[in-house]
Amino acid sequence: MTSDFLLNLAQAVTKGLLTGMVYGLMALGLSVIFGVMRVVNFAHGEMMVVGMYLAWMGFEYLEVSPLLSLPLIAAIFFAVGYGLQRSLISPFIGRPEHQQFLLLLAVAILLVNACLAIAGPDSRGVQMESQFDSYELGPLVLDAVRLHAALAAVAIALLLWLFFSRTRTGKSIRAAADNHLAALVVGLDVRRLYAFTFGVGAACVGAAGALMITIIPVTPFLAAEYTLLAFVIVIVGGLGSMTGALMGGLLIGVSEAVAGLLVQPSLKSMFSFGLLILVLLLRPQGLFGKSNS
């Protein structure tokens, strides 16, 4: 009885960890954008949903696996994100928060309703070949689909880490994030770096969308939920911190899965929001963020 329960719990935790890695990748995009530009992307969940739809279309109409279309989707997201920042968002950097909020809200409304207009309100899923495969790890059973998605998310996060720590552009972006004025003084093209950053953040969430569609089907109505989820993860982990976003993703993934096991699944978001409130009040820099008071 107890060993059964423990096994179920371990199973839920594993599942939560795997989903959490994809959550983490999604939140990473939000965190990167905020960390550098101090703009909160209120259209983040909508971008996620667009990524999911693109991967679904690739699968449905071109019969390409989401894992294969992912690089292309990320590239498209990068280009569109770059353009979006250059054209729409750039003038709003440093403006009052409510104006940024309204701008990104408008973008969010446009994105989600474009999905609705094109793909309709029905839920759209992807039937992967590996749908029913699984790996066994001792007594634990890992869904192949979920495992692949999680591994891909980790690989992308690693690439991102390499980008920020090894490349010139990546280092410049971090410098600009640390000190806007100093970056201007040493002659960095901050406008281009910002556009690049938004592109990178968008590519993250696009890639996360392509992975997520292999785990659950998409509807336009998921968008707002993902925006909130990304906020929760990023605040819990530490806004602007990369490791924070990933760890926050794992934490929320696990807490959702365990809440689904222990109490009613419909109560799972109450856990997340409760955690969010506690973190905001007790440790607003996030569990993994650095204090900068």
Partner 1 sequence: MSFVKRLTGDASPRILWSLGILLVLLLVAPMMLGKYWLSVLILVLYFAFVGQAWNIMMGFAGQLSLGHALYAGLGGYIAAGLYSHYGIGPWAGLFAAVAAAGVAGAIVGYLGFRFSLAGVYFALLTIAFSEFTRVAFDHWEWAGGSGGLFLKVDTTTDIVNLRGGPVLFYYVILALAAGAFVLCRALLESRLGRYWLAIREDAEAAQAVGVPVLRCKMIAIVISAALTALAGVWNAFYYNNLFPETAFAMGRSIEITLAPIIGGLGTLFGPIVGAVVLTGLGEIFTDLGEALRIPGIKQIFYGLALLVIVMYRPAGLWPWLADKLGLKERQP
Binding site for partner 1 (CB under 8 A): 40, 88, 91, 95, 97-99, 101-103, 105-110, 112-117, 120-121, 220, 224, 228, 231-232, 235, 264, 266-267, 269-270, 273-274, 276-277, 280-282, 284
Q: Which is nearer to partner 1, 101 or 163 (by Cβ)?
A: 101
Q: Which is nearer to partner 1, 135 or 221 (by Cβ)?
A: 221
Minimum distance of partner 1 from residue 229's CB (angstroms): 11
* CA separation for the pair 277, 186 (Å, rounded): 40
Q: Are 28 and 160 in contact (CB under 8 A)?
A: yes
Q: Which is nearer to partner 1, 108 or 250 (by Cβ)?
A: 108
H-type alpha helices, the chain: 2-37, 44-62, 66-84, 97-119, 144-166, 168-178, 180-185, 190-215, 222-237, 242-262, 268-282
Minimum distance of partner 1 from residue 277's CB (angstroms): 5
Half-sphere exposure of 15 (CA within 13 A, CB side): 17
Q: Are 201 and 38 in contact (CB under 8 A)?
A: no
Identify the three-state secondary structure at position 54. helix
Q: Which is nearer to partner 1, 160 or 235 (by Cβ)?
A: 235
Q: Which is nearer to partner 1, 109 or 141 (by Cβ)?
A: 109
* CA separation for the pair 108, 30 (Å, rounded): 14
Q: Are 15 and 258 in contact (CB under 8 A)?
A: no
Minimum distance of partner 1 from residue 115's CB (angstroms): 8
* CA separation for the pair 216, 232 (Å, rounded): 20
Amino acid identity at 114 = A
Minimum distance of partner 1 from residue 199's CB (angstroms): 20
Of 98, 90, 289, the closest CA to residue 197 belongs to: 90
* Dihedral sign, Cα of residue 161, residue 21, residue 251, residue 34: positive
Minimum distance of partner 1 from residue 98's CB (angstroms): 6
Q: Which is nearer to partner 1, 71 or 274 (by Cβ)?
A: 274
Minimum distance of partner 1 from residue 125's CB (angstroms): 19
Q: Which is nearer to partner 1, 70 or 234 (by Cβ)?
A: 234
State CA 46 to chain mean position distance. 11
Minimum distance of partner 1 from residue 103's CB (angstroms): 5
Q: Which is nearer to partner 1, 99 or 131 (by Cβ)?
A: 99
Of 125, 145, 131, 120, the closest CA to residue 22 belongs to: 145
Minimum distance of partner 1 from residue 107's CB (angstroms): 7
